[in-house]
Structure 1
Amino acid sequence: MAKERTKREVRRSVRQSGWITLDGGFAARPCEVVDLSATGAKLTMADAISLGPKLRLAFSRDARTGRNCEVIWRRGTTVGVKFVS
């Protein structure tokens, strides 16, 4: 029996600048948020390959804002993340 796929959350194209922080908020790196949904986002950045499995995504450089994320997939300079608590 085929496994039913759950419908993905609707993604909005945002093409907005964002900031990725790793390990407690040090060394914020710029990225572009390509699209965004209630459960995750697609990001592009020059050094996407060097990202660890967890990061924080914000729309300002302030590490106290933003959402915790887990990297789900990587393709070249593009990564898909899901929001986690």
Structure 2
Amino acid sequence: MTVQERPKVQREPRRQMNGRTAHIMLDRGTKELECSVIDVAPGGARIIADADMDVGDHFALALVATHSRRQRCEVVWRHDKTFGVKFLT
């Protein structure tokens, strides 16, 4: 019996954010929900919502609260209050 090697998966470089506070913008920016960013990569991020609130499938994310830039996101997976999102262009 031979053991097949698993092919290496090329992943994007990830930057640890160590729970940095960010803000989820819902309903076109009229509702704001605080969250924590666990890690972020050029294509997406893993976040934890502080409140038990349905964020839907799409929202805007402010990675830096004092900056006006908002990143449009799509939820690709969820587990309790933790979400994996991909950034939309």
TM-score range normalised by the length of the shorter chain? 0.7 to 0.9
Segments of 5+ residues of structure 2 without an aligned counterpart are 1-6
Alignment partner, residue 3 of structure 2: none
User: In 2, Cα distance between the equivalents of 1:10 and 1:48?
Assistant: 30
Identity over aligned residues, as a percent? 32
- Following superposition of structure 1 onto structure 2, how do residues 24-35 of structure 1 map, counting pairs within 5 Å? 24-35=28-39
TM-score by length of 1: 0.82
User: In 1, Cα distance between the equivalents of 2:52 and 2:73?
Assistant: 14
User: In 1, Cα distance between the equivalents of 2:65 and 2:50?
Assistant: 18
User: In 1, Cα distance between the equivalents of 2:45 and 2:23?
Assistant: 13
Does 1:43 pair with 2:47?
Answer: yes
TM-score by length of 2: 0.79
Alignment partner, residue 16 of structure 2: 13
For residue 26 of structure 1, report the CA deviation from its aligned partner.
Answer: 1.0
RMSD of aligned Cα (Å): 2.1
> Size of the alignment, in residue pairs?
81
For residue 47 of structure 1, report the CA deviation from its aligned partner.
Answer: 3.8
* Stretches (4+) displaced over 6 A: none
Letter in 2 for 1:27: K
Segments of 5+ residues of structure 1 without an aligned counterpart are none
